[in-house]
Amino acid sequence: MTDFPFQIVGFDLDGTLLDTACDIGHALNHALAHVGRPLVPLDQARRYIGGGSAQLLHNALEASGGKDGIDFAALQERLLAFYAENIAHHTVLFSGGEAMLETLAARGVHLAIATNKREDLARRLFDELGLTPRFATIIGGDTLGPGRAKPAPDMLHEMVARSGGGRAAFVGDTTFDIGAARAAGMPVVAVSFGFNDRPAHELGADAVIDHFDELVPALETLAR
């Protein structure tokens, strides 16, 4: 089937396609413990996630006393090293994700990832979960160089180019994602079950879904 209105559907990774909160939370706590900061309860880790590892660590440090006296770059590398070695212990697709990906692929859609996670980490995670073959391209926050990660539109333009061109839509969970899609002139769907940095209906997306069962109909509606 090739009658779907979008040739490309791109996804953010953390909090959109995959629930990575537990594995990221463990890595964050590893870093926080190193500098004597209180650990973040794992069920609260998702409120710090969004924008990449630097933003994650910045958010957590600011919430527990700030960054004064801390070698931020070294601590970020410690966090990332731990995360790389423990990247897929608890991470899973959000509910309905498997069926949704299969449905879009069956409709002839090229699937793509544009994440502010470092590209090597995104690829390692997808490899461990067996998801890499499903995607035409995986673009990370460092792929295009400094200053070009979301909410800049560059990653989404590159996503379209690498996926062969055509009409594209994006799916995300934060202001970084919606901002990038808006800047790229691309329809965007927000997921309410992600790591939303503000209520999903306040993100400014064209549509909001509460489960991946709703994504394909939402995209079809957006195209009308």
Q: Active-site residue 173, yes or no?
A: no
Torsions phi, psi for 84 (to 5 deg):
-60, -35
Q: What angle do CA 222, 111, 25 make, to 5 degrees?
A: 100
Helices (H), 86-172: 97-106, 119-129, 154-162
Residue position matching structure tokens 């079809």: 220
**Whether 158 contacts 143, CB under 8 Å:** yes
DSSP state letter for 65:
T
Out of 3, 12, 19, 142, the active site residue is 12
What is the helix (H) or strand (E) element at residue 30, kind and residue range? helix 21-34
Nearest alpha-carbon partner for 121 in 27, 195, 45: 27
Q: Is-cis flag, bond preceding 146, omega within 30?
A: no
Residues 20/52, Cβ–Cβ less than 8 Å:
no
Q: Which two tokens stand for residue 157?
A: 């333009």
- Residues designated catalytic: 12
